[in-house]
Amino acid sequence: MKVRLYRPVIALVLLCSMFSLLSINDALGQRGKKGTSSDDCQLDEAKKWYEEGELEKIESIEFCAKDPKSMSTEKRLEAFQLITESYLYRDKIGAADNSFREILKIDPLYQPDTVGDSYQSYDLIYLSKTFTRRPIFSMYFGGGLNFSLIEQLENYGVDNTSGTADHEGYLREVVIGANATVGFELPLLYNFDLTLDATFAYRTHAFGDSMYLSATTANPSSLITSDLRKDDLLLYSTLKFKENQFWIDVPLMLRYNITKFKGILPYVYAGVAANFLLYADLTDVSRRAAPESVRAELGGQSTTSSSIVITQTTNSPSLRTTVNVSFVAGAGLKFRLGRNFLYVDFRYTRMFLNNVDLDNRYSNSELLYYHGHVDNDFRTDNFALTAGFIKSFYVPRKKHQYNPIIINSKYSKFLEKERNYIKKETDEDLKRELNSTLKEMEQQQPSLIEDVQKGKTKGTKMLDDKKKEIEDIKNKRVKVEVNYE
Amino acid sequence: MLYLSKKNILFMLFVLIAYLSSSCQKDQISPANQEVAFVKYYGHVGDQTATDVIPTSDGGYVLLGSTNSYSAREEMDILVVKTDSLGNELWSSAFGRTEGEVDPDFRYLRFSEEGIRIIELPDQSAYVLAANRTYYDYPSASSEGPVGESKTKIVLYQLDYATGAPTSTSGIELMTTGTNSPFTEKVSDMKLDTAGGGVKFILTGYTKNIKPNKPDDDYSGFFDEKDVFTVLLNADFSIDPSWLNFVYGFAGSDYGTSVQITSEGYLICGISDFDHSATGQAADYVPSILVVLIQKSGGTPLNEKEYALKEYHFGGGYSVFDADNNKLTIAVNVDNALGANAEKGNVGLFQIQLSSINFTVVTPNSTDGIGCQYYDLGDINGSTGKEHLVESIALLPGDEGFILSTTQKSSLFESDICIAKFDRNLNVEEGWPYYFGYSDKSSLVLTNDKAGSVIPIISGTGNQINISGYAFTGRFGLGTNEMMGLVKLNLNGTLTP
């Protein structure tokens, strides 16, 4: 059973490695690709046309340049830069957008050279800023280590459960588990991503429980001479084991990316997860009665079991609940690797629900009758450190604040709103002034949207400016009225 | 003024959701009610046994058994554990007669004591227990092993109600035949008789100080090892002056297992050797079921009946009396090794209707000729034809039937505890029996468990009595050592909340 459960982890790690190699090969292959067309789609002629001002002719190479086999990647990039520039000069902004999209298809992270390249105009630099470089979708694969902390919710031991003696607990021994992850991230607005993954986790913790004797005047506890714990002579029989759990977690998380650093993308995230327990067992189960010096044969006996399966078997029901719900939070760093990333992630998983199946708490006769153990109610906190690879998929697209359709729609709505306001306005002077301003704004609309589309101004800023302009008129009129009074 | 951009607002919202998700987790955890069922172990690193459990007026339990965890030698002391209603130990008390006394033969004596029955006095002033004390003779204090077991005597202790400390460390040893009597006497059962507002204790068991010259004894006492022993004690453990008949028995071996208090007298149930041989032929003694009704004053027998079947070697004889219906129910077991019968190892239930001093067998569905109904209770793995030794039976209020405890013996080293519930018609109820114990497939890992008393857990009074579960005690054979145990089962005979 164990071997079979480890298989997915190994498979995942291999898959992750293959993807990494493929991606690197892919990137190298793209860079070194040579053109197959003998005239490179008339790129040299196009350059001449550009210098001679025959810009209309340049678009004739566009169809040819779209063919990835037509020439090398570098030359295709050069061709589309030239085509985009030509459209921009001729104010064909829609065509320039499409042409720039072709550039991003070739190199999703393309940035125009702002220093010393005669073909890259400010217009192209502005246009470039209107496109997002964020992937539309990413897949990630990773593996790492984890550590579990157990919170006891209710004590159900076979000895006193109401006492205050510190006789029981989830040991502070550090036992490390392992995890492997495959997941998807979907960029949302404002540097937020939605991520969903499937994490295969081997989680483990150690447990210890000592039975203890209640000391009373009638109890000859002074005879107890345990050598094991001089400080607490009343603890007399200690059970220890290591619990191993194999989980599949499916967390859905909202991630916030911090984009201030070049090449490194720190992020934080939080979400909820469904957790599915596949298998659990207890290993190295042992109870040992404390030896007593009062009588040679007294104490020192022990029980041992190398492994006890505590999830459902043909003979016994599961001692553990097989479904849990958890809160997940974490932080990490993404390191750019070409168009993909390597990442390191630290994740905290807080399971909400009791891990113990209440109906089956006493159902394992070996644990109950031979070792003398009853599970306490408990829940799990887990801390995982994972490293892995992110394969990103890109689709060239405008940033939200430069999207002409969105901004145009917002601008129209703004005008409509102001028109409605004017209808209700009683101050004729103000009405006139606002009407005049609005008319002016209506006339400006196409050119303003075009500026936004070109990247010369942010759509949101342009809208804010226009709103402020209207508000200023309204406020000015109010002030004048106040002055009259 | 702090400028809050949409980004910052979203981020703060994100952190807030994360915090709220984390902080509300406690509400989603609902621990089960531990009052419904539990398993508890008591004792220390030595060996413990347990024979009796009673509910106490505070809703808890008192358990009685023995332990050698605190002894310098292997001999056992009495162990009493008081628990709350959840089985948590409130106090425990271990005591016994101090070793080292020298008997008339100048031997060094050590004592092994085994608690048998414990009673909470009605005024809650003390606990009273009856135990058997066995004398071991050692050549000297430094001797490793005893010369032998010389005798067993009945001993009574009174315990402080709050701490369990005995008022006398050596207890009161019952002296029916004078000081230093060499005869063994053992107690099997003790009941509290509060008739007339007084406190008296009626005990039964056996004595080896047999009544001589019995009629129809063709063998001059050769098979007559034990007789039924009965005694009525006052509150101070002195023998009631009216009591004259301590010993009752026949030409074979007889012993009393349980005693019941009826309006007509004390009803002793036990086992008596019955001679199945024809007149003039060699004796063919087979243990049979014995029921004797004796006078409350003096102990004179009023009626007696032996229920015998050739080839059926009965054991046990634990009983329960339904005072509302004047009906006695006796639990026996059929010896697994002896006799040629179809019920070997099985448990038998036997019912007698009392009418004045007369007995009428009324066991439903009995076909064996004497009125016993038999049950193959199987074992923990569902196998049939296994050996059971009856240890206790209790009446369930409201005519709900009976609860029975047995020890299911698989081998010398492996035994489990079996708890079975019977309805009023003596049918085993569905879902029962419950088994306590463990052995692995290769029988290398074993638990040697032995049942003690089983009781219903009752709440309410009069017509409002409810049963909320069942509790039993016993020797629980943990892998490390044998412990005194207490289990509370739910009404279905499981440990499910």
Per-residue pLDDT at A29: 41
Number of C-beta neighbours around residue B3 at 10 A: 5
Out of A221, A236, A370, the one facing B479 most closely (by C-beta) is: A370
Tokens of A124: 């192209």
Give contacts of B 376-435 with A, CB under 8 A. 380
Per-residue pLDDT at B141: 83
B478 and A287: CB-CB below 8 Å? Answer: yes
- Identity of the amino acid at A415: L
- Structural domain contains residue B131: yes
The contacts of residue B289 (CB under 8 Å, 6+ apart) are B269, B271, B272, B306, B307, B308, B314, B317, B330, B332, B350, B370, B372
Out of A289, A327, A358, the one facing B481 most closely (by C-beta) is: A289
B483 and A365: CB-CB below 8 Å? Answer: no
CA dihedral B193, B194, B200, B203 (to 10 degrees): 10
Structure-token match 């053992």, residue found: B186
Q: What is the pLDDT of residues A136-155, one digit of tens each?
A: 899 999 999 999 988 888 87
- The mean-pLDDT minimum among A7-11, A356-360, B46-50, B395-399 falls in A7-11
Per-residue pLDDT at B35: 72
Tokens of A229: 């714990």
CB-count burial class (<10 Å; 0-12, 13-18, 19+) for A89: middle
Give contacts of A 366-395 with B, CB under 8 A. 366, 368-372, 374, 377, 379
Per-residue pLDDT at A43: 81
CB-count burial class (<10 Å; 0-12, 13-18, 19+) for A381: middle
Q: Are strands A340-351 and A192-212 parallel, antiparallel or unpaired?
A: unpaired
Judge whether B14 is closer than 8 Å to chain A, CB to CB: yes
Structure-token match 């301003």, residue found: A437
Cα distance between residue B126 and residue B254, in whole Å: 33
Are the C-beta atoms of B92 and B72 separated by less than 8 Å?
no
A289 and B449: CB-CB below 8 Å? Answer: no
Per-residue pLDDT at A139: 96
Cα distance between residue A15 and residue B495, in whole Å: 47
Q: Which residues of A touch B493 (CB under 8 A)?
A: none
Q: Nearest Cα to B47, choosing from B32, B24, B66?
A: B66
Q: Which of the residues A167, A210, A219 would you substitute to probe the B interface, choosing the one with the greatest number of B C-beta atoms within 10 Å?
A: A219
Q: What is the pLDDT of residues A193-235, one digit of tens each?
A: 999 999 999 999 998 877 766 555 455 555 555 554 444 556 7
A372 and B478: CB-CB below 8 Å? Answer: yes
A19: pLDDT strictly greater than 80? no
A358: pLDDT strictly greater than 70? yes
Per-residue pLDDT at A116: 62
A218 and B31: CB-CB below 8 Å? Answer: no
ipTM associated with this complex: 0.86
Q: Which residues of B touch A211 (CB under 8 A)?
A: 41
Out of A211, A221, A358, the one facing B32 most closely (by C-beta) is: A358
Total residues belonging to chain B: 497
Confidence of residue A25 (pLDDT cuts 50, 70, 90): very low
Cα distance between residue B226 and residue B204, in whole Å: 13
- Start-to-end C-alpha separation, chain B: 58
Beta sheet of B61-67, edge-to-edge order:
B48-55, B61-67, B77-83, B89-95
Backbone angles phi, psi at A53, to 5 degrees: 85, 10
A359 and B497: CB-CB below 8 Å? Answer: yes
Tokens of A485: 């009074």
pTM across the whole model? 0.80
- Give A396→chain B minimum CA distance, Å: 23
Query: DSSP letters of B343-362?
Result: TTT-EEEEEEEEETTEEEE-
Judge whether B147 is closer than 8 Å to chain A, CB to CB: no
Cα distance between residue B439 and residue B63, in whole Å: 26
pLDDT averaged over chain A?
82
- Structural domain contains residue B20: no
Per-residue pLDDT at A35: 41
Backbone angles phi, psi at B337, to 5 degrees: -100, -30
A398: pLDDT strictly greater than 80? yes
Tokens of A323: 């479904």
Please tell me chain A's helix, strand, coil percentages from 3-state DSSP, rounded to the nearest 5: 40, 35, 30
Per-residue pLDDT at A33: 41
- Identity of the amino acid at B202: I
Nearest chain A residue to B497 by CA: give it: A359
Name the region of B168 (left: φ>0; alpha: ψ -120 to 50; beta: rest).
Answer: beta
Out of B32, B86, B92, the one facing A219 most closely (by C-beta) is: B92
Residues A242-246 have a mean pLDDT of 96
- The mean-pLDDT minimum among A15-29, A401-415, B133-147, B219-233 falls in A15-29
pLDDT tens string, chain B, 497 residues long: the values are 445 566 666 777 766 665 555 544 433 333 345 678 889 998 888 889 999 999 999 999 999 999 988 777 888 999 999 998 988 888 888 999 988 877 666 778 899 999 999 999 999 999 999 999 999 988 888 887 777 777 999 999 999 999 899 999 899 999 877 777 889 999 999 999 998 888 999 999 999 998 887 777 777 778 888 999 999 999 999 999 999 888 998 888 999 999 999 999 999 999 999 988 887 788 889 999 999 999 998 899 999 999 999 889 999 999 999 999 999 999 999 998 888 888 999 999 999 999 999 999 999 988 888 999 999 999 988 889 999 999 999 999 988 999 999 999 988 888 999 999 999 999 999 999 999 998 777 777 778 899 999 999 998 877 788 999 999 999 999 888 899 999 999 999 988 87
Are the C-beta atoms of A279 and A1 separated by less than 8 Å?
yes
Tokens of B25: 């987790």
- Structural domain contains residue B330: no
Give contacts of B 21-60 with A, CB under 8 A. 21-22, 25, 28-29, 31-32, 34, 37-42, 44-46
Q: Spell out the long-range contacts of B100-106 with Cβ–Cβ below 8 A and sequence spacing 24 or more.
A: B100/B141, B103/B135, B103/B137, B103/B150, B103/B180, B104/B180, B105/B137
- Structural domain contains residue B77: yes
Q: Nearest Cα to A22, choosing from A197, A139, A135?
A: A139
A166: pLDDT strictly greater than 60? no
- CA-to-CA separations, B373 to B99, B360, B425, in angstroms, rounded: 47, 15, 11
Per-residue pLDDT at B2: 45
Are the C-beta atoms of B371 and B351 separated by less than 8 Å?
yes
Q: Nearest Cα to B38, choosing from B491, B416, B488, B494?
A: B488
* CA–CA–CA angle B151, B152, B154 (5° rounding): 145
Per-residue pLDDT at A117: 55
Name the region of A12 (left: φ>0; alpha: ψ -120 to 50; beta: rest).
Answer: alpha
How many domains, chain B? 1
Supply the range of the domain harboring residue B168. 58-173
CA dihedral A37, A38, A43, A49 (to 10 degrees): -130
- Give B459→chain A minimum CA distance, Å: 23
Confidence of residue A41 (pLDDT cuts 50, 70, 90): confident
Cα distance between residue A138 and residue A331, in whole Å: 17
- Structural domain contains residue B116: yes
Q: What is the pLDDT of residues A100-114, one digit of tens each?
A: 998 998 888 888 877
Number of C-beta neighbours around residue B383 at 10 A: 10
Nearest chain B residue to A304 by CA: give it: B479
Confidence of residue A30 (pLDDT cuts 50, 70, 90): very low
Are the C-beta atoms of A154 and B31 separated by less than 8 Å?
yes
Query: In a 3-state reduction of DSSP, which class is residue A156?
Result: coil
Give contacts of B 155-184 with A, CB under 8 A. 160, 163-166
Cα distance between residue B105 and residue A454, in whole Å: 120
Per-residue pLDDT at A429: 84
B478 and A371: CB-CB below 8 Å? Answer: yes
- Structural domain contains residue B151: yes
B478 and A236: CB-CB below 8 Å? Answer: no
Per-residue pLDDT at A167: 52
Cα distance between residue B350 and residue B366, in whole Å: 9
Out of B28, B45, B497, the one facing A353 most closely (by C-beta) is: B28
Per-residue pLDDT at A27: 42
Per-residue pLDDT at A479: 63
Q: Which residues of A touch B88 (CB under 8 A)?
A: 160-163
- Structural domain contains residue B76: yes
Q: What is the CA radius of gyration of chain B?
A: 26
Cα distance between residue B341 and residue B430, in whole Å: 27
Judge whether A348 is closer than 8 Å to chain B, CB to CB: no
A38: pLDDT strictly greater than 70? no
Number of C-beta neighbours around residue B422 at 10 A: 23
- The mean-pLDDT minimum among A90-104, A387-401, B23-37 falls in B23-37
Q: Is the peptide bond before B433 cis (omega within 30 degrees of 0)?
A: yes
Cα distance between residue A151 and residue B330, in whole Å: 50
Are the C-beta atoms of B269 and B317 separated by less than 8 Å?
yes
Tokens of A55: 């810009």
- Structural domain contains residue B27: no
